[in-house]
A and B are shown apart, each in its own frame.
Chain A
């Protein structure tokens, strides 16, 4: 089933009806395993048990950037290939990405208080993630500002692609600037520096969060398609009533 087959909304809806229960179950199982592994992971010799915030903070941060990447691909699908469901995918992903970014900022802030002594610091990584959060909010505002969703789609697609410049800035901010936030320990040249006892639960949680995003995204896309159908029916009803 290629992407072009999925361009038919009805076929897409039937696919989601079949997929969502399995995805939901898989997400729940992986989250349970991940949380269990995080709970039994050893304490850090410096940070103690506080290090376990990492198992929630880091997947949230990764997902916040992944979601903008998914929205950028959807934006390309709207502008270049005119895929009918690309704008549905982009519109559905924006609030989910904003939520992940917000949670990354909050969990990071809660982790920063015991570790760094401050809830917030204007260093490069935190500032660029805050800017990402503001861009998510701006994008959601843009989606709501235009009545017709398909017209809003093209404007939002351009804004998404322009904002994608922030993703490499966030990723490399800890390398380019002297930051309080620690440098990269997983996705870096020379492999991860994280010990396996922490790396395994982290990767399991990252996979669980990705599945969570996938599940929520498909459900949100489904809702958006149904919402647009309701809107079309309402407009049809209104025009018939006035005729």
Chain B
């Protein structure tokens, strides 16, 4: 257990270091949200309607961007081989790395949501609804993205392939995340139904992600 805790602590420390990539995700999130009004036009009512979708899309792309850091840095300096060969089950280490990645890269995105919601003319209920759905949904993005990161770790120019592989698996999370946000803001539809499915997707990814990623790492690194 202490091995996993040490791994999580190590990963968070590395991610928070300068050049570690934790804040690059937030910067990219900011860039996407800032570019949207330039593309869509300054109509505040329209931006408020599109707000949850823009925030979710920005968060999804930002987490996609930071995903290759999950294994790439460790692969380059050889620590990934040590991790694969260690006594701790590889599935648990993958889960620990994904958890650390979510804490370092996903939580800042959620923390940035209220500020960015202001840029999109969202009121407090809308922003908190989006932040809550992001809290429930970004773990799913990280854990399913981990599968793509594990597949792409052995490829030298694997970055774009990673995005292509992970995107179809992230689409359901996006759909239900935006649906839950819209339901909380305006909807005739209840908030509970899409939110429960979003939580279910996250919980399922906690199981499927580490097992698939561990299998990929074992087969890909020999």
Chain A bound to chain B? yes
Residue numbers of B with Cβ under 8 A of A are 147, 151, 154-155, 158, 161, 164-165, 167-169, 171, 208, 212, 215-216, 219-220
- A224 to B164: give the CA distance in the assembly, Å: 25
Whether B171 and A142, one on each chain, are in contact in the complex, defined by CB atoms closer than 8 angstroms, is: no
Stretch of A66-74, A154-162, A233-241 on the interface side: A154-162
Contacts of A219 in B (CB 8 A): none
Cβ of A135 within 8 Å of any chain B Cβ, yes or no, is yes
Cβ of A25 within 8 Å of any chain B Cβ, yes or no, is no
Query: If the complex has contacts A134-B167, A162-B169, are A155 and B161 also in contact, measured as CB distance less than 8 A?
Result: no
Query: If the complex has contacts A159-B151, A162-B208, are A142 and B165 also in contact, measured as CB distance less than 8 A?
Result: yes
Identify which of residues 142-176 in chain A touch chain B, using a CB-to-CB cut-off of 8 Å.
142, 145-146, 151, 154-155, 158-159, 161-163, 166
Query: If the complex has contacts A141-B161, A142-B151, A158-B212, are A134 and B168 also in contact, measured as CB distance less than 8 A?
Result: yes
Contacts of A159 in B (CB 8 A): 147, 151, 165
Query: If the complex has contacts A151-B220, A158-B151, A162-B147, are A138 and B168 also in contact, measured as CB distance less than 8 A?
Result: yes
* Interchain nearest-CB distance for A31 vs B (Å): 32
- A71 to B100: give the CA distance in the assembly, Å: 34
Residue numbers of A with Cβ under 8 A of B are 79, 127, 131, 134-135, 137-138, 141-142, 145-146, 151, 154-155, 158-159, 161-163, 166
- A163 to B151: give the CA distance in the assembly, Å: 14
Count how many pairs of residues, one from A and one from B, have CB atoms less than 8 Å apart in the complex: 53
Contacts of A163 in B (CB 8 A): 168-169
Whether A158 and B216, one on each chain, are in contact in the complex, defined by CB atoms closer than 8 angstroms, is: yes
* Interchain nearest-CB distance for B179 vs A (Å): 11
Contacts of B171 in A (CB 8 A): 127, 131
- A32 to B15: give the CA distance in the assembly, Å: 62
Query: If the complex has contacts A131-B171, A145-B158, A158-B212, are A138 and B164 also in contact, measured as CB distance less than 8 A?
Result: yes
Query: If the complex has contacts A134-B167, A158-B212, A162-B212, are A145 and B161 also in contact, measured as CB distance less than 8 A?
Result: yes
Contacts of B219 in A (CB 8 A): 151, 154-155, 158
B164 (CB) vs chain A CBs: closest residue: A138
* Interchain nearest-CB distance for B173 vs A (Å): 12
